[in-house]
């Protein structure tokens, strides 16, 4: 940790956008340029003033951020500015930001008659507002916001920008985005603004396909049963396979929101879908214990409705630095949205897809069954004749690959040992991906019981404070992509700490001058700076950092209120000549008047030779 007040980063002066999510997000979405060509854009030097660790209760209950920035040697005053908070009511449309609605798009209320608002601090099940895209379409700014509750809502809101660059909601434009034609939404976590200016979201922590509704109208799974209000109390109308997909919201030429779920991209605990510069290759991170890493290559640019899915296999080369490995990509087959949606609509059960037997006393599987370890831990499984055409063939594999993506990838030999896999971002200048692992433990840890029955591909030392990994990217003609990750190694790690009672930093279990539980990451294009957001209980206040890729220095640039996760930091270099770093303070538990999840920005920044 450096001791001066400034962190340095370089940005191209051309328009760009970068997201950080934590479940979270992150992404790079601004242009379609061939990043193999040398840039002709001058580099903009930007320096932020560093902020301290909040120590007083007043400081700990606030959103705090850098208040000064130097752009090309010129000092600018900036500030944190709130755009909206959950429970904001549009008096003209009657909509309430974060209000949950059911499968008939009717308002859901709690038993006491109060509105079911997804803010992460009321009786609703979930974390609150998570990711926000600012889209530039039709000469208008639209903010698409998704909510991380079991009943996952999405809203669209027009934004006004004044002559000084300040952003504010336009009264009369807040609208609820219906998801009823695609079975509703679920735990919307991280996302990104795509290069084609759409909102690409996520459905995290997919429910288990073995759930069944009992005579009491419940499954016994608290989190899945929490969606009952969406179905007006009738869970028999739902299916676990309705959830765990990648949704997309596009704004059409009439300014209307169009909603799609991309079943072609597989079902898992989606933290983030990250689109690469070719508009075809998409990396999919899978949040949880014993999970996988996936890559989707679409048939056509900007169209994610059809393509081929791949799962990574970690081939370890070193245990050092929390692991180094070469990556192999296992082909999980091609599928389209229409093909898989038709199977989802049948409301299958897990046992329609795989046959299961218990392992013996030596943890061995019977002949004909494969031994795997995933988020469901050790299982002995065999693919079934799903189509009931008397043969197990590519059709059955296609269905299994999308409805049970994690199990099928393990079945095919891919690695399902990652732990708390979070955000991902791309550095086109150096052709590197960066991937956050919130904790290195369980299946990743050498000799862990969590990998019983699995392959033990990953065998590294644990780190409860987490690690950000670096992956080299290159072209692969066999997969039809110029953006295939070749390897993976630790880049920057959190540092466990034991602060004694009475110490200034008592209550923190990871070093306050380093990252803890990295959640979402964002690379600032053509610079030396990687932005790292936290989702942690190891720091009293969650923080956002800049990591200098040249010298390894970390600089603290944002702290969230007590108990609030930092989700959705997102960098917009040029929105009509102004720059913004957006971020969400999710589920704060501070001052009673500030208990709502909120989205805001640090800025505005002034570029392009503005006065």
DSSP secondary structure string, 365-393? PPTT-EEEEETTEEEEEEE--TT-SSS--
Provide the pLDDT confidence category of residue 36 given band limits of 50, 70 and 90: very low
Domain-embedded: residue 220: yes
Q: How far apart are alpha carbons 381 and 370 in whole angstroms?
A: 5
* Residue 493 · residue 439 · CB < 8 Å: no
pLDDT number for residue 284 = 98
pLDDT number for residue 611 = 43
Domain of residue 144 covers 6-606
Identify the residue with better confidence: 121 or 513. 513
Identify the residue with better confidence: 360 or 610. 360
Q: How far apart are alpha carbons 524 and 198 in whole angstroms?
A: 20
CA 331 vs. chain centroid, Å, equals 23
Domain-embedded: residue 611: no
Cα→Cα distances 342→242, 337, 453, 587, Å: 11, 9, 33, 37
pLDDT number for residue 230 = 98
Q: How far apart are alpha carbons 596 and 593 in whole angstroms?
A: 8
Identify the residue with better confidence: 76 or 65. 65
Could you report the per-residue pLDDT of 257-280, keeping only the tens digit for each? Answer: 999 999 999 999 999 999 999 999
Q: How far apart are alpha carbons 346 and 278 in whole angstroms?
A: 34
Provide the pLDDT confidence category of residue 544 given band limits of 50, 70 and 90: very high
Whether residue 553 is predicted with pLDDT greater than 60 in this model: the reply is yes
Using DSSP's 3-state secondary structure scheme, residue 449 falls into helix
Whether residue 10 is predicted with pLDDT greater than 70 in this model: the reply is no
Domain-embedded: residue 271: yes
Q: How far apart are alpha carbons 264 and 305 in whole angstroms?
A: 6
CA neighbor of 128 nearest in space, from 94, 153, 95:
153
pLDDT number for residue 592 = 58
Q: How far apart are alpha carbons 372 and 384 in whole angstroms?
A: 16
Q: Is 218 exposed, middle or buried (0-12, 13-18, 19+ CB in 10 A)?
A: middle
Query: What average pLDDT does this structure show over 40-61?
Result: 80
Q: How many domains does the chain have?
A: 1
CB atoms within 10 A of CB 23: 34
pLDDT number for residue 122 = 84
Could you report the per-residue pLDDT of 162-193, keeping only the tens digit for each? Answer: 999 999 999 999 999 999 999 999 999 999 99
Whether residue 16 is predicted with pLDDT greater than 50 in this model: the reply is no
Domain-embedded: residue 1: no
Domain-embedded: residue 127: yes
Q: How far apart are alpha carbons 258 and 252 in whole angstroms?
A: 7
Could you report the per-residue pLDDT of 572-596, keeping only the tens digit for each? Answer: 888 998 888 888 999 998 665 568 9
Give 361's contacts (C-beta < 8 A, 6+ positions apart).
none
Could you report the per-residue pLDDT of 475-525, keeping only the tens digit for each? Answer: 999 999 999 999 999 999 999 999 999 999 999 999 999 999 999 998 877
Domain-embedded: residue 341: yes
Which residues make beta-bridge pairs with 356?
A: 381
Domain-embedded: residue 211: yes
Domain-embedded: residue 493: yes
pLDDT number for residue 593 = 58
pLDDT number for residue 580 = 86
Residue 291 token pair: 């999970």
What is the overall mean pLDDT for the chain? 90
Query: What average pLDDT does this structure show over 291-313?
Result: 98
């Amino acid at each position: 940790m450096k001791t001066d007040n400034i962190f340095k980063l370089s940005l191209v002066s051309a328009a760009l956008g970068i997201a950080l999510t934590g479940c979270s997000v992150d992404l790079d979405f601004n242009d379609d340029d061939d990043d193999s060509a040398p840039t002709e854009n001058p580099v903009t030097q930007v320096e932020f003033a560093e902020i301290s660790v909040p120590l007083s209760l007043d400081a700990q209950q606030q959103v705090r951020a850098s208040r000064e920035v130097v752009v090309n040697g010129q000092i600018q005053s900036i500030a944190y500015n709130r755009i909206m908070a959950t429970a904001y009511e549009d008096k003209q449309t009657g909509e309430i930001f974060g209000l949950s609605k059911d499968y008939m798009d009717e308002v859901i209320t709690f038993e006491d008659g109060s509105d079911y608002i997804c803010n992460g601090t009321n009786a609703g099940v979930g974390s609150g507002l998570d990711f926000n895209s600012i889209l530039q379409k039709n000469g208008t700014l639209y903010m698409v916001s998704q909510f991380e509750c079991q009943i996952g809502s999405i809203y669209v809101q027009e934004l006004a920008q004044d002559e000084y660059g300040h952003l504010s909601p336009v009264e009369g434009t807040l609208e609820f985005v219906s998801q009823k034609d695609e079975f509703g939404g679920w735990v919307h976590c991280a996302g990104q603004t795509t290069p084609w200016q759409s909102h690409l979201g996520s459905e995290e922590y997919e429910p288990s396909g073995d759930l069944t509704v009992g005579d009491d109208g419940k499954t016994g799974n608290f989190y899945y049963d929490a969606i009952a209000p969406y179905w007006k109390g009738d869970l028999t109308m739902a299916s676990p396979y309705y959830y765990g997909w990648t949704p997309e919201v596009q704004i059409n030429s009439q300014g209307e929101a169009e909603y799609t779920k991309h079943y072609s991209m597989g079902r898992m605990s989606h933290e983030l879908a990250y689109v690469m510069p070719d508009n075809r290759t998409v990396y999919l991170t899978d949040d949880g214990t014993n999970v996988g890493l996936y890559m989707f290559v679409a048939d056509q640019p900007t169209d994610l409705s059809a393509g081929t899915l791949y799962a990574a296999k970690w081939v370890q080369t070193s245990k050092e630095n929390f692991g180094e490995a070469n990556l192999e990509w296992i082909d999980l087959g091609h599928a389209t949205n229409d093909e898989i949606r038709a199977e989802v609509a049948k409301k299958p059960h897990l046992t329609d897809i795989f046959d299961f037997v218990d392992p013996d006393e030596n943890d061995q599987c019977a002949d004909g069954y494969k031994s795997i370890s995933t988020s469901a831990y050790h299982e002995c499984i065999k693919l079934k004749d799903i189509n009931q055409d008397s043969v197990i063939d590519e059709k059955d594999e296609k269905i299994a690959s999308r409805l049970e993506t994690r199990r099928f990838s393990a079945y095919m030999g891919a690695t399902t040992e990652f732990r708390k896999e979070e955000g991902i971002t791309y550095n086109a200048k150096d052709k590197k991906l960066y991937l956050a692992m919130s904790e290195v433990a369980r299946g990743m840890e050498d000799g862990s019981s969590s990998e019983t029955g699995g392959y033990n591909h990953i065998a590294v030392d644990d780190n409860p404070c987490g690690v950000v990994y670096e992956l080299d990217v290159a072209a692969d003609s066999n997969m039809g992509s110029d953006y295939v990750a070749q390897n993976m190694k630790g880049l920057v790690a959190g540092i466990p700490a034991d602060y004694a009672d009475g110490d200034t930093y008592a209550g923190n279990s990871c070093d306050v001058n380093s990252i803890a539980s990295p959640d979402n990451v964002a690379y600032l294009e053509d610079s030396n700076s990687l932005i790292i957001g936290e989702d942690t209980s190891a720091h009293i206040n969650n923080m956002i950092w800049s990591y200098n890729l040249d010298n390894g220095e970390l600089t603290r640039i944002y702290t969230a209120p007590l108990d609030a996760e930092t989700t959705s930091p997102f960098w917009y270099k040029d929105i009509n000549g102004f720059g913004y770093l957006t971020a969400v303070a999710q589920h704060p538990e501070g001052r009673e008047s500030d208990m709502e999840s909120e989205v805001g920005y640090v800025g505005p920044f002034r570029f392009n030779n503005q006065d």
